Amino acid sequence: MRDGYVVAVVGATGAVGRQAVAILEARGFPVRELRLAASGRSAGKRVDGHPVVALSEDVFDGCDIAIFDVPDGVSAEWAPRAAARGAVVIDNSATFLLEPDVPLVIPEINGQRVKDRPRGIVANPNCTTATFLLPLAPLHRAYGLRRVVACSYQSVSGAGQAGTEQLWRELRAAVERGEPLREPLGQAFPHPIALNVLPAVGSVRDGGHTSEEVKAQQESRKILEHPGVEVGITCVRVPTLVGHGVAVHATFDRSPDLEEVREILRTAPGVEVVDEPRSARYPTPLLAAGRDPAYVGRIRLDGAGNLAFFVVADNLRKGAALNAVQIAETLVALEPELRAHARV
């Protein structure tokens, strides 16, 4: 049997879990045994030909890496149990994002942090945060980031399958009626999302911020290791299927040169520059859907002295499943001793 790792994907029947299974295979991750787990009601299903079992501690016996894409409460219960059995957990929930003893990792930015995991858990960042930090991090290294003001344009798939289904249902109804809907046709969003935008993503917190906005603020400081950076963001749900966009206006300690900015972004890992607006070449959700990079364009100096750009990434890939697999790749590259669990 060839060398490789025992990898579990927990929440394998969800949109991100299915993506993780496909990406592991597409990128040739050295999997010796793939174990797929989900809730009891999903047991017996198959994902890409692999059987799905009910989540239990047996799933993690002899497991090297466990990728979790489950609700926060499930992660809170099961991620520590998986780690206690020796698996390195890569968690995509919000449970451990801001825990000081859990690294929050975007491999292109701070991949070395995977080695600092006293609880055996590595957190995957929020999809919006991952999207705008990919271009911001190299610019921060070059110019010293002071402040970010941003607005996100987040697709319905960020709310799971229920969000996607609600959009399609409402689009069909709106076409049939010949007018926008007045009431939502689903539980994912409190208002119609078809032909509409909703300026609140997540639950509302003190001060009027939403949970999505608070995560973007706090995660940025943690990943960039820059606790003093000011981050202001409004998160907006829009009627697109896949791909989160973020309009960014950033202030730096040193005034950026636009040509130098473009060159920095052209060479930044995980970033692709699409910046020819006169030819209608700029990032869109459809461009990013199903692809790995964060696409950056509309690069300019705004009228308030900030560097401005628009960035889009596939929220199910770089915002979730792809980043999780890249964390696993970084882990095995930096820690060959994980092969003590592998069998030849």
Catalytic residues: 127, 244
Alpha carbon 188 to its chain's center: 19
Query: For 298, how many CA atoms within 13 A lie in the half-sphere containing its CB?
Result: 16
State how far the Cα of 269 lies from the Cα of 122, in Å rounded to an integer.
21
- Edge to edge, what strands does the sheet with 307-313 contain? 230-237, 145-154, 244-252, 307-313, 294-301, 271-273
Between the alpha carbon of residue 130 and those of residues 137, 205, 238, 281, 315, the distances in Å are 10, 22, 18, 23, 9
State how far the Cα of 175 lies from the Cα of 172, in Å rounded to an integer.
5
Residues 102 and 117 sit within 8 Å (Cβ to Cβ): yes
